[in-house]
Amino acid sequence: MGYLRVRSLANPEWHRDTDWLTGYLDRKRPKTPGPDRDLFDRAIARLRAYSAARRRGSESEAAFQERSEALWDDFLDAVDSYLELIQAEHLREVDEAGVSGR
């Protein structure tokens, strides 16, 4: 997930294929309940909100693009929250194992 975030999602030239991305996230979704799955579900919900966004009747194209980019940023924020949690859990497990550390 981190690789996808850095190589594709952060790339402004990457085509935002939300159908593919939703399927990818659905397959990667944590199986067991917990904070990580909650954050993952939040990212999926925000991606779906971005994907469903349509220009409103009186909304200018520029205003729609701005709103759309804000929805994409909301999705990225949710992905980042998930990745930060996973990283913190990993570092905690490494510290507890006493193998190496920060």
pLDDT digits (tens, 9 = 90+) for 21-80: 999 999 999 999 999 999 999 999 999 999 999 999 999 999 999 999 999 999 999 999
pLDDT reported for residue 100:
64
Q: In the structure encoding, which two tokens stand for residue 31, read together?
A: 């199986």
Print burial letters for 5-39: b (CB count within 10 Å at least 16), e (below 16): eeeebeeeeeeeeeeebeeebeeeeeeeeeeeeeb
Alpha-helix residue ranges (DSSP H) falling in the chain: 2-4, 18-28, 35-52, 61-97
pTM for this entry? 0.86
| Nearest Cα residue to 37 out of 70, 81, 73 | 81
Q: Where are the domains of the chain?
A: 2-97
pLDDT reported for residue 93:
86
- Reported as a pLDDT band with limits 50, 70 and 90, residue 92 is confident
- Reported as a pLDDT band with limits 50, 70 and 90, residue 9 is very high
Kindly tell me if the per-residue pLDDT of 102 is higher than 70: no
